[in-house]
Structure 1
Amino acid sequence: MHAIRLHAFGPAENLTYEQVDDPAPGPGQVRIAVAAAGVHLLDTALRQGHRGPLPELPALPTVPGREVAGVVEALGEGVAELWLGRRVVAHLGFAPGGYAELAVTDVDRVHELPRNLDFAEAVAMIGTGRTALGIVQFAELGPDSVAVVPAAAGGLGTLLVQYARNAGATVVGLAGGTEKVARVRDNGADLAVDYTDPAWPGKVRAYLGGRVATVVFDGVGGDVAREAVALLGDGGRHLVFGWSGSGLADGRPYLVKGVSQQVLGPAMFARVGGPDPLRALELRALAEAAEERLTPALTRFPLAGAAAAHRALESRRTIGKVVLEP
């Protein structure tokens, strides 16, 4: 098969398109003929040698990627034959291997795709979608809510705008540049503004006309977060799930005592509850997409263009979820 391999941590050019041995499914595993593989901002940090929230860096050489969708084409020992030939999606967890024509994973991680969901959409929902649904649990959105979404043209931001709109909230979407602002507006935000314009907070205040923000969904950090948090009224919530504007590898989130709450990890799992909170969120995310309540935005690259996909993501030239297609 062909796969993207990383032999040394460093720039995007270190991602090479190579022919490698086909992976064999072990007991309890399936092998998926990959039709779409997700690219995450965390992948770019790992490529540079920064482990981010993961317990350790992958051993080199490695095939990056943790989100895949495709067709099951081989079964490991103990896996029911009914899985063979099924359209599926899976999050691979800590085990990489997604940037490839074939990927193996435990059958317990696999979800059969709803009939009306394509592979790239499913990849967006299995990781980014589950995160979005975990985050919104903390927001308590309704018709009286005013939600501010920085990075609203990104994969996660796109879904947060849609969810908030569906809940009846007034939605303010922030994005960088004219094209992205237009996409945020088309996605249903009541107000879309360019956060590279220093006057953007004043434009938001003028639009709200005396109303205040009730929640800020913050995956950006830095100056954008500081200005967004200043829009909150008493009792407003600053939900923090990243700080890409400060640098995912070495930066720090912008936090305000009594206002900010970091919502990933144990806090999210506790809110979801049950024996497998991540799988529960995955099921909810796929259902939201299948019912067309949430529709991910996508930027597609060929598998061989993984380095270009990383460069585009790092330079903020992508819209929505970045997906590789073999």
Structure 2
Amino acid sequence: MHAAVVTAFGEPHVFEVTELPDPAPGPGQVAIDVSHAAVGLIDVFIRQGRYQDRAGLPRPPYVPGLEVAGIIRALGDGVTGFRVGEPVVTLSGTGAEGGYASVAVVDASLTVPLDGTGVDPALAVAAVPNAATAYLALTEVAHLKAGERVLVHGALGGLAAAFPGVARTLGADSVVGTVRRASLDQGRASTLPYDEVVAGEDLIESVGERRFDVVVDPVGGQVRTDSLRVMAPLGRMLLVGNASGDWEHTVPTNSLWFGSQAMLGFSIGFYLPAHPEQARPAAQGALKAVGQGLVDIRTRILPLGEAAEAHRLVEKGSVGGRILLAP
């Protein structure tokens, strides 16, 4: 199989595209002929070595990639409910590896059939894993209730863009997004189900007296602290990323006490393997939002040989959607 291998922790140039033996599925796994592999910010952080001391994450040499779409080529022992030749998409798993290749082996419990959904495989891998993340974060962690108000930072990013549509299907009363001030003139926000998109740098002034029951923060940094001032009593902030790259930022935790508020971290890659029974409901919730056109994510497809360029684009924060690799 063709594969893009991270040969060492470091800059994007550490990628090497090479030939490796085709992997075979083990018990409870499926092998997939990959048509599209999603490139995520977590892939970049792992390649940079930010998590190199964390158990369960790969070390070089390894093949990155959490999420793929494609056709099942083989079933491992004990796998039922799938057939060879079936189109599928995968959700995020703990291993954070294997997707940047022409063949990927994935746990069957994290694999979702696409037959009958009408969802294109490129859109599926761009949108379904993130929409499943949004569904689980909003239902199992933030416990979003019908009629509540939601604020989403980094509103046009690949992960954030899944939240407004899923929130709508769960009965949110209003959804406001934030982007960098320079992005407001791009016109992209109108295709996503936000009531309004404002500049994150002007958050306090832009939202005025409005207060939010759930804040979704994949950005981090100063906007995380600013968000405490626009949260309602018993408001919940979901920490789902750190796109700002500000690893030293801290928040005044006494504000949580005074405001009766909560900050809740969520990583689907570590949650789903511990709760595999949640994969199918999350996928169904995701496909509902995607099928209704509520998760409109801009995609850019690059050949597998340009994995390094894909990572450079993600690092620069210039994607405004999701980059996919096509083996």
TM range (shorter): 0.7 to 0.9
Moved more, 32-41 or 109-118: 109-118
User: Which residue is 1:85 aligned to?
Assistant: 85
Residues 243 and 251 in structure 1, CA contact (< 8 A), matched pair in contact too:
no
Q: Distance in 2 between matches of 1:100 and 1:28?
A: 20
Residues 45 and 52 in structure 1, CA contact (< 8 A), matched pair in contact too:
no
5+ residue gaps, structure 2, are none
Q: Distance in 1 between matches of 2:154 and 2:256?
A: 23
Residues 2 and 102 in structure 2, CA contact (< 8 A), matched pair in contact too:
yes
User: Which residue is 2:124 aligned to?
Assistant: 122
Residues 150 and 172 in structure 2, CA contact (< 8 A), matched pair in contact too:
no
Q: Write the mapping of 1:1-326 to structure 2, written as runs, cut at 5 A.
A: 1-51=1-51, 55-77=55-77, 83-91=83-91, 93-95=93-95, 96-115=97-116, 116-137=118-139, 138=142, 140-143=144-147, 145-166=148-169, 167-176=171-180, 177-178=182-183, 182-195=187-200, 198-205=201-208, 210-247=209-246, 250-251=247-248, 254=251, 256-258=255-257, 259-264=261-266, 276-326=277-327
C-alpha distance 59-240 of structure 1, shift in aligned 2 (>3 A): closer
C-alpha distance 200-126 of structure 1, shift in aligned 2 (>3 A): closer
- SS of the aligned residue for 1:135 comes to helix
- SS of the aligned residue for 2:51 comes to coil
- SS of the aligned residue for 1:162 comes to helix
Q: Alpha-carbon deviation of 1:229?
A: 2.2
Q: Distance in 1 between matches of 2:67 and 2:6?
A: 17
Q: Distance in 1 between matches of 2:105 and 2:185?
A: 36
User: Residue type matched to 1:38 in 2?
Assistant: A
Q: Alpha-carbon deviation of 1:216?
A: 1.6
Question: Could you give the per-residue CA deviations for residues 176-222 of structure 1, whole angstroms, max 9, x where no partner exists?
Answer: 22367621233132221233xx44431332xxxx4333332112221
- SS of the aligned residue for 2:90 comes to strand
Residues 181 and 193 in structure 1, CA contact (< 8 A), matched pair in contact too:
no
Residues 240 and 267 in structure 2, CA contact (< 8 A), matched pair in contact too:
no
Moved more, 282-291 or 147-156: 282-291
Moved more, 306-315 or 78-87: 78-87
Residues 165 and 189 in structure 1, CA contact (< 8 A), matched pair in contact too:
no
Q: Distance in 1 between matches of 2:211 and 2:128?
A: 33
Q: Alpha-carbon deviation of 1:153?
A: 0.5
User: Residue type matched to 1:140 in 2?
Assistant: L
- SS of the aligned residue for 1:33 comes to strand
Q: Distance in 2 between matches of 1:81 and 1:56?
A: 28
Question: Could you give the per-residue CA deviations for residues 26-70 of structure 1, whole angstroms, max 9, x where no partner exists?
Answer: 344332110111222111111011228952441321110111110
Q: Alpha-carbon deviation of 1:175?
A: 1.0
TM-score w.r.t. the length of structure 1 is: 0.83
Q: Alpha-carbon deviation of 1:125?
A: 4.0
- SS of the aligned residue for 1:318 comes to coil
Moved more, 38-47 or 238-247: 238-247
C-alpha distance 297-114 of structure 1, shift in aligned 2 (>3 A): farther
C-alpha distance 194-300 of structure 1, shift in aligned 2 (>3 A): farther
5+ residue gaps, structure 1, are none
C-alpha distance 274-311 of structure 1, shift in aligned 2 (>3 A): closer
Residues 125 and 289 in structure 1, CA contact (< 8 A), matched pair in contact too:
yes
TM-score w.r.t. the length of structure 2 is: 0.83
> Percent of pairs identical after alignment?
32
Residues 149 and 175 in structure 2, CA contact (< 8 A), matched pair in contact too:
yes
- SS of the aligned residue for 1:132 comes to helix
Q: Alpha-carbon deviation of 1:262?
A: 1.0
User: Residue type matched to 2:125 in 1?
Assistant: V
Q: Distance in 1 between matches of 2:326 and 2:88?
A: 15
Residues 34 and 68 in structure 1, CA contact (< 8 A), matched pair in contact too:
yes
C-alpha distance 191-103 of structure 1, shift in aligned 2 (>3 A): same
